[in-house]
Structure 1
């Protein structure tokens, strides 16, 4: 149940950010939910592999290269999902940073409600 709620909150975050950011678009609520599911899958499977393969770059940049990996994950989701559009690396980077912040806020509110 908690996983489904997190997916729904992620979909809400995708919708809000798509409305705010001109370089990001989502066609429908269903597309936003699909984006949330695909991002969860990519973050679980592809991201650890990318982090491992780029570990030297991540260490040299003191972790900042993880932002590039997150942007690549967003662009990969853009490639796979028809109803989701990101116009380039810069918008993917901005979207990934804001999505992380937005999700952190929503999840912290969710944890406070359970306490």
Structure 2
């Protein structure tokens, strides 16, 4: 099963190929995608992405997760979250969201089992 490419990205809007949903923030993995609702885990820009935010994705058989920190990189990714990802034997790429989407789409095209979590505003 492959990960769905990100079809489009602009401030506050993301479209995942094969989905009719227009996302502000989203999670993607091999065979799926959904809204990333920060209220589920109490996520804020600081301290940022929590282990609970990525747990669903890293349990989908991925080799690497790409984390988009926002267009202006306001979203933090604490070391605790990166350590959690590494403890599962998964690599993480943390990038500005436009760069993160480009890298994610490249990995999808290359056939890598990749997941992603993206913030499309600040």
- Flag whether TM exceeds 0.5 (same fold): no
Structure 2 length-normalised TM: 0.31
TM-score (norm 1): 0.32
Question: Which structure is higher in strand share?
Answer: 2
Mark the structure with the bigger radius of gyration.
Answer: 1
